[in-house]
């Protein structure tokens, strides 16, 4: 046993003097430089704290149930969860490589010796020679690769970082699906409202057309007026099937997001509930800090950073693949020519050994693998920085759009409200005989046009709010395990 220990010590000393064997500490890539504050952060007093479950701040229980159903049944989320399971299994395997390996083998065999060959003929002359021989064995073996230079540790670090990237990727998919469900719900609500307005517009256009035709028959209006009113009626009627088609498309999209076959949203209880509500009122998210916080808040940025850490560890692994490898092994077992004496002291056999492997000539393969790993690290760093910059731009754009779309929606709703008041007044004047029915229908058409524009503006403002929550990370924060190198 002493020569084995001395041999391993000498091998370790040999590895220590290999040029470059002791790798210096690697310099971590610099984080992207982002501003400390958002230029377009909203100053609303009713801002919603940025936290998970942000859609619940909209105050729509139907929407809450839809998002919960999507988070439980969406297939993109299921695929991302499976990728996380794969990464977790890879991490477990990488950690297992650092531990000693052991195995247990058993064997049994029977052999009848030939006495016609030279060896068999010679042994057959000895007293007690038996042509049939049974052999039984039971052996346990163990081996352990000593991670003296950190190759296996680097592999485990890479696997841990890849698992962190997969964890952040799952969070990113969940955030995306939640936002898509909310956006689709907003579109469904808006289309339902616009469809009601379109049908009212058709009814108003039909009334105007009938009234003008009556006036033409009485000779108090020109025939060209009925041509115009008929064209307006046809145009108003043509909008209805377009909106009905768009509504069906969005309902089918909602079904797919919930992980179910298309066509169910139009017929089940959820669809019945959806027919009774309006466009959710989205409150702005509170923004207590600036774009720099996106490095730990946005799942896609965190995933990109984890891939940088994984690539850095793969570089270290490739460098250490050129160093010596040391392995110690041993075995203990039983071997006998019969079961009766298998478990006796004479059947015991043991052994131990050590091995060193030093790559001397590989045709440049190991250097090429190191160069490839370093190039992949550069790519990961560039993608990380690009993702962070894009995240900052997305957040600024979304916050600005939220402010401006909200202003646009307020203006559109103010116009619709004023025209609604005008409609009430002109209806009163019509009943008093002060204005004609044609004037009343003209104001009604203007009001419906303004109502349609207000619905579209409110939907755009709501979608801008969703984009802001999504751009800011939806309240997700990287866990401690995911943020470690």
How does 104-124 read in b/e, with b if 16+ C-beta sit within 10 Å?
A: eeeeeeeeeeeeeeeeeeeee
* CATH 2.30.29.30 is the classification of domain 1-28+103-146+324-357: no
Q: What distance lies between CA 336 and its chain's CA centroid?
A: 59
Return the structure tokens found at 95: 């950690």
Residue 248 has pLDDT above 60, yes or no: yes
Task: Specify the pTM.
Answer: 0.82
pLDDT at 225 over 80: no
- The CATH 2.20.200.10 portion of the chain extends over 1-28+103-146+324-357
Average pLDDT for 426-435: 62
Give pLDDT, residue 50: 78
Task: Give me the torsion for CA of 302, 303, 304, 310, rounded to 10°.
Answer: 110
**pLDDT at position 62:** 86
pLDDT at residue number 183: 93
**Cα atoms in the Cβ-side hemisphere of radius 13 Å centred on 399:** 23
The answer to whether 369 touches 18, Cβ cutoff 8 Å, is no
Q: Which CATH class is domain 31-98+149-188+244-323+365-483?
A: mainly alpha
Q: How far apart are CA 28 and CA 484, in angstroms?
A: 12
The C-alpha R_g of the chain, in whole angstroms, comes to: 38
| pLDDT-above-90 percentage for the chain | 34
Q: What percent of the chain has pLDDT over 70?
A: 82
Examine the pLDDT at 353 and tell me if it is beyond 60: yes
Indicate where the chain has its CATH 1.20.1600.10 domain(s). 31-98+149-188+244-323+365-483
């Amino acid at each position: 046993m002493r020569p084995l220990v001395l041999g391993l010590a000498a091998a370790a000393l040999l590895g220590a003097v290999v040029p470059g064997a002791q790798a210096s500490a690697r310099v971590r890539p610099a984080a992207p430089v982002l501003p400390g504050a958002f230029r377009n952060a909203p100053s609303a007093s009713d801002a919603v704290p940025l936290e998970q479950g942000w859609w619940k701040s909209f105050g729509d229980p139907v929407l809450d149930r839809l998002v919960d159903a999507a988070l439980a049944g969406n297939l993109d989320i299921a695929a991302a969860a499976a990728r996380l399971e794969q990464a977790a299994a890879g991490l477990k395997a990488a950690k297992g490589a650092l531990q000693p390996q052991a195995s247990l083998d058993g064997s049994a065999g029977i052999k009848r010796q030939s006495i016609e060959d030279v060896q068999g003929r010679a042994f057959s002359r000895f007293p007690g020679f038996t042509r049939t021989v049974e052999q039984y064995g039971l052996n346990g073996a163990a081996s352990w690769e000593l991670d003296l230079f950190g190759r296996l540790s680097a592999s485990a670090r890479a696997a841990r970082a890849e698992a962190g990237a997969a964890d952040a990727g799952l969070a990113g998919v969940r955030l995306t699906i939640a936002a898509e469900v909310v956006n689709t719900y907003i579109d469904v609500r808006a289309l339902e409202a616009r469809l009601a307005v379109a049908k009212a517009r058709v009814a108003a256009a039909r009334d105007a057309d009938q009234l003008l035709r009556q006036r033409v028959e009485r000779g108090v209006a020109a025939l060209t007026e009925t041509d115009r009113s008929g064209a307006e009626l046809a145009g108003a009627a043509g909008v209805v099937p377009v909106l009905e088609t768009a509504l069906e498309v969005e309902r089918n999209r909602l079904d797919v997001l919930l992980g179910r076959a298309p066509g169910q949203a139009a017929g089940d209880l959820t669809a019945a509930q959806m027919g009774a509500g309006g466009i959710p009122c989205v409150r702005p998210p509170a923004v207590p800090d600036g774009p720099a916080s996106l490095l730990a808040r946005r799942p896609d940025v965190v995933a990109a950073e984890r891939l940088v850490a994984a690539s850095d560890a793969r570089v270290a692994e490739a460098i250490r693949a050129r160093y010596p490898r040391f392995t110690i092994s041993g075995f203990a077992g039983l071997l006998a020519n019969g079961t009766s004496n298998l478990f006796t002291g004479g059947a015991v056999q043991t052994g131990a050994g050590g091995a060193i492997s030093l790559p001397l000539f590989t045709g440049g393969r190991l250097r090429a693998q190191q160069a490839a790993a370093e190039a992949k690290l550069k790519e990961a760093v560039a993608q990380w920085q690009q993702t962070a910059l894009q995240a900052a731009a997305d957040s600024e754009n979304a916050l600005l759009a939220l402010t401006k779309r909200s202003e646009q929606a307020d203006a559109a709703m103010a116009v619709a409200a004023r025209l609604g008041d005008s409609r009430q007044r002109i209806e009163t004047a019509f009943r008093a005989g002060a204005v004609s029915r044609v004037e009343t229908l003209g104001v009604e058409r203007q009001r419906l046009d303004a109502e349609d524009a207000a619905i579209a503006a409110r939907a755009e403002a709501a979608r801008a709010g969703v984009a802001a929550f999504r751009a800011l990370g939806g309240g997700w924060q990287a866990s401690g395990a995911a943020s470690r190198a």
